[in-house]
Amino acid sequence: MAATKRKDQAEQAGRPRGASDLWGTVDFPVKRHVSPHGQVTAVSMMKDEGPFVIEWVAHHLAIGFTDLVVYTNDCSDGTDDMLIRLEELGLCHHRRNVIPEGIRPQPSALNYAQDEPVVGLSDWVMVFDADEFLSIRHGDGSLDAMISAAVAQGANGIVVTWRIFGSGGVVDWSRAPVTEQYLLAAPQSWNKGWGVKTLFKFDPDHWKLGIHRPKMKSKWIKTEFPDSVKWLNGSGREMEDYFKFRGWRSITRTVGYDWVQLNHYAVKSVDSYAIRKMRGNVNNKKDKYNSDYWSLQDRNEVRDDTMLRYKPQRDAMIARLLEDPVLNRLHHAAVARAEARLDELRQTEAYHLLKADLARASQVPLSQIVAKPPVARDKEKIAALMSDVEKLRGQKQKEERKEKNKAPKEPVPEALYLEGPLDAAADLPMEYVANHTVKLPLDYRVFTATALDQIGKSKFERVLARKLPQIVPKGARVLEIGCAAGFLGVHLANSRVDISVRLQEDDPALRQVLARVCSASGRSVNDRFDLLDSPLDPDPVAAAVAMVAGFAPTVLMLSDPRLGPDRLAALLPQLPLPAPQQIFLTGRLLSRWHRDLSGVAALLGALGYRPDFDLDPVQALAFSAAPDEDDSEE
């Protein structure tokens, strides 16, 4: 049907299909982007977003949307007037959201958008909120290039996962661009931040627009149409079949950020939040902007400055938009209104109470955040609503996963640390959990999901944590090269008062975590516990030999992944005397190189070491020096 409409409507050069008579009535040097993928449209809803309209529009024009359709309701700060002017300039489409009684503003706007000619005649559509900005890592960062990559895979949609950005500790109001001012975000692994929005090929005859993803119309579910739907995740991998029919969040199997993410700036600064709280929200949710919401959205664990790649294009676009005198006046008037309102709020007790409340809310650790869905998930109700087609497809994929999991798998060491570069500079509020004698942080910035689960259950590296204190010789000197967060070394020092421990780690982020682990676990540097400052680079073999020579360890633990098989082959024969009695290959070294260490084991055998201690090889490869023949005779 949409295809027929396109044929029936003569499209003027550079003019979007379905545009109103107001569109482009004022000549302006900035022209609408022409995409090889046709009409690529962003749909949004705004209320009193005046200070941020220009940046939102400039950013999404700069990355390659051809059309922006924005619905407004009850604006008091000129947001609607700015969008009307942008429509006159031929850069946006403004529509009124006249809300029927009993309908929330956002669903009301989407109902209108379903029948809006600009949207219905578009080729690709994505629904946004005003605090969401698309951030593309793929290729040159353009929407055209990313869509081309998706189309090359035969895809007709991309499911984009949120990345929640916090206040970054900013309290005061600022006129700086949102995407430049807030560069701290939740970790990618934090599943409570995995809401999605969907960029997809739109045909209003087959799809009904939704906030997070479109809904397939019932009449097509039992046809061949679902087979034609192929959506990718944010890393360019095909989504699972269930998402064609329902769902609004990524799951562990479908999440991905390699290509694209949706930066969600839900809180901004404390001052911005205060203004928003005092003027309501797009869905009229009672007391949505409370301290619980702030705790959920004020996530600042990881720096993500990907958005800065767009700064030159965005700034240039903002400057050109503000060359229009009408738009310039409206923008600065909106900013002035916000700042005047803020001045009023700062004189009230409510503002200062809110500020203190939010400061407390910012201290809630990530692991203690509770994100409750709007309605509790009812599995039976969901099952009842599912069509036979959905059930069959879902069951088929479930059986395929079971069959795949039945296949014998080679046991492999678990990766417990994320791959770098890591950033743990900020000493954030963090929940510490006792694991044996050590308190470990539930730090999403450095630990993998597997490790976080183990830490939360007090089971981090539990087999080694149990056995090492039993097998390390009395009065031992323990050296671990590449200790990461230092769990095993700190545990040994805490549980065996007769031994000396020296730990080495190069990665700055892991050294910061190590220092916090020591502090939380009551482990101070003294004559039997030390942290080396010596780096492995630029010559890991020579550096490791020097560390061994300087400490003469009884027990040598090699855990740095840079000490791969070739370097171990060079290092082990050079170990100075007296040689370590015990050698362990563990940690990140083992998880990175476990398939390639057979030659190293043979070399250790030639050097007089034998496998020992009955440890599972996925936990550690352990060797002890064979006793001298004279000792064995005695």
Pairwise CA distance, residues 465 & 356, whole Å: 42
Q: With contact defined as beta carbons under 8 Å apart, do 28 and 89 qualify?
A: yes
Query: Does residue 419 lie within any of the structural domains?
Result: no
pLDDT at residue 511 greater than cutoff 70? yes
Strand-strand pairing, 157-164 and 196-201: antiparallel
**What residues have CB less than 8 Å from 216, skipping those under 6 apart?**
206, 207, 225, 226, 229, 244, 245
* 634 pLDDT above the threshold of 70: no
The answer to the question of residue 427 being in a domain is no
State yes or no: pLDDT of 536 exceeds 80. yes
Asked if residue 577 and residue 626 are part of one domain, the reply reads yes
Task: Compute the CA torsion angle 213, 215, 216, 217 (nearest 10 deg).
Answer: -160
Amino acid identity, position 47: K
Averaged pLDDT, 359-381: 77
Express as a percent the part of the chain with pLDDT over 70.
Answer: 89
Segments forming the whole domain that contains residue 41: 2-368
Q: Do 233 and 142 have their domain in common?
A: yes
CB 32 within 8 A of CB 317: no
Helix (H) or strand (E) holding 477: strand 477-481
Residues in Cβ contact with 170 at an 8 Å cutoff, skipping those fewer than 6 apart = 181, 182, 268, 269, 270
Average pLDDT over the chain, rounded to whole? Answer: 91
Do 393 and 254 fall within a single domain?
A: no
Contact 26, 141 (CB under 8 A): no
User: To the nearest whole percent, how much of the chain has pLDDT over 90?
Assistant: 81
Number of residues assigned to the chain: 634
In-domain check, residue 421: no
The mean pLDDT value for 340-350 works out to 93
Give per-residue pLDDT as tens, 607-632: 999 998 888 889 999 999 977 655 44
Q: Is 343 among the domain residues?
A: yes
Per residue in 119-131, pLDDT (tens digit) is 999 999 999 999 9
Domain shared by 391 and 475, yes or no: no
* Residue at 412 is within a domain: no
pTM of the full predicted structure? 0.86
In eight-state DSSP terms, residue 387 is -
Q: Which two structure tokens, joined as six digits, stand for 258?
A: 């390699």
Indicate whether 424 belongs to any domain.
no
Show which of 347, 368, 389 is a domain's final residue: 368
Please report the beta strands in 397-446, taking only residues with DSSP state E, as ranges in sequence order.
432-435, 438-441
Q: Which of 285-289, 424-428, 458-462 has the lowest mean pLDDT?
A: 285-289
For residues 347 and 474, state if they share a domain: no
CA dist., res. 1 & res. 235, Å (int): 32
How far is residue 80's CA from residue 53's CA, in Å, rounded to a whole number? 10
**Range in 69-73, 194-198, 524-528 the model is least confident about:** 524-528
Give the pLDDT of residue 411. 76
In this prediction, residue 614 carries a pLDDT of 85
Q: Is the pLDDT of residue 330 over 80?
A: yes
Q: How many domains does the chain have?
A: 3
Q: Which residue has the higher pLDDT, 2 or 426?
A: 426
Q: What's phi and psi for 139, nearest 5 deg?
A: 55, -130
Using pLDDT thresholds of 50, 70 and 90, give the confidence band for residue 532.
very high
Residue 379 reports pLDDT greater than 70: no
Q: Give the H/E segment covering residue 57.
A: helix 50-63
| Across 92-96, 188-192, 435-439, least confident range | 188-192
How does residue 387 score in pLDDT terms, banded at 50, 70 and 90? Answer: low
Q: Tell me the pLDDT band of 386, cut-offs 50, 70 and 90.
A: low
Q: Do residues 259 and 115 share a domain?
A: yes
450 and 386 within one domain: no
Higher pLDDT, 91 or 384: 91
Residues 339 and 382 in one domain: no
- Find the CATH number of the domain harbouring 583: 3.40.50.150
Average pLDDT over residues 218-238: 95
Task: Identify whether residues 332 and 244 lie together within a single domain.
Answer: yes
- Identify whether 213 is part of a domain: yes
Q: What is the pLDDT of residue 553?
A: 97
Q: Are residues 209 and 337 in the same domain?
A: yes
Angle at 531 between CA 527 and CA 536, to 5 degrees: 135
Angle at 119 between CA 116 and CA 121, to 5 degrees: 100
Give the per-residue pLDDT at 1. 45
Phi first, then psi: give them for residue 247, nearest 5 degrees. 115, 150
Q: HSE of 254 in the Cβ direction (CA atoms, 13 Å)? A: 23
Name the DSSP class of 267: S
Residue 527, token pair as written in the block: 């004559």
SS3 call for 492: helix
Are 293 and 223 in the same domain? yes
Whether 413 maps to a domain, the answer reads no
Q: What is the pLDDT of residue 3?
A: 45
394 in the same domain as 337: no
CA separation for the pair 131, 569 (Å, rounded): 54
For 427, the 3-state DSSP assignment is coil
